[in-house]
Amino acid sequence: MTELAQMKCEACQADAPKVSDEELAQLIKLIPDWGVEVRDGIMQLERVYKFKNFKLAMAFTNQLAELAEADFHHPGILTEWGKVTVTWWSHSIKGLHKNDFIMAAKTDTLYS
Ligand SMILES: C[C@H](O)[C@H](O)[C@H]1CNC2=NC(N)=NC(=O)C2=N1
């Protein structure tokens, strides 16, 4: 399989299929630092990135914003002193699409 981080997101269509349980089980192995949360019945990918201070957390946040705009797929972001919580899910289908796994893998490439 092509590396997730090199893939391109599909357009967010309202009738796009959510990932199946089998696909979820396979895809989550490719992003081992991410967890799956369910909020208001919506399955989401989530990871907390740690930083030395707020300035570095904010710089990462801004890079992530650029990434989201480039793929026109946007995360939930909580930026705090020393950490950034990133949450990916597809609003249009109220759940997880392969796009979310692609964007989680791309998010990891921003973190050194
Ligand atoms: C109008 C709609 O918000 C846009 O098509 C895009 C913007 N960014 C998006 N981001 C995410 N995570 N899910 C979407 O469904 C989505 N839709």
Number of domains forming the structure of the chain = 1
Tokens coding 10: 């599909």
Cβ(74) – ligand 1 distance below 6 Å: yes
- List pLDDT tens digits, range 4-40: 999 988 877 788 899 999 999 999 999 999 999 999 9
Half-sphere exposure of 93 (CA within 13 A, CB side): 22
Is 50 among the domain residues?
yes
Structural domain contains residue 25:
no
35 assigned to some structural domain: no
Give domain status of residue 61, yes or no.
Answer: yes
CATH assignment at residue 63: 3.30.1360.20
1 in a structural domain: no
Q: Contact 64/107 with Cβ under 8 angstroms? A: yes
ipTM: 0.93
Q: Which of 10, 12, 13, 96 to mutate to test the pocket of ligand 1 (most atoms within 8 A of CB)?
A: 12
Q: Is 98 in the pocket of ligand 1 (CB under 6 A)?
A: no
Among candidate residues 63, 68, 78, 84, the one with its CA nearest the CA of residue 12: 68
Alpha helices in the chain, H assignment, sequence order: 21-28, 54-71, 98-109
61: domain range?
A: 42-112
The answer to whether the CB of 94 is under 6 A from ligand 1 is no
Residue-wise pLDDT tens digits, 48-63: 999 999 999 999 999 9
The distance of Cα 14 from the centroid of its chain, to the nearest Å, equals: 19
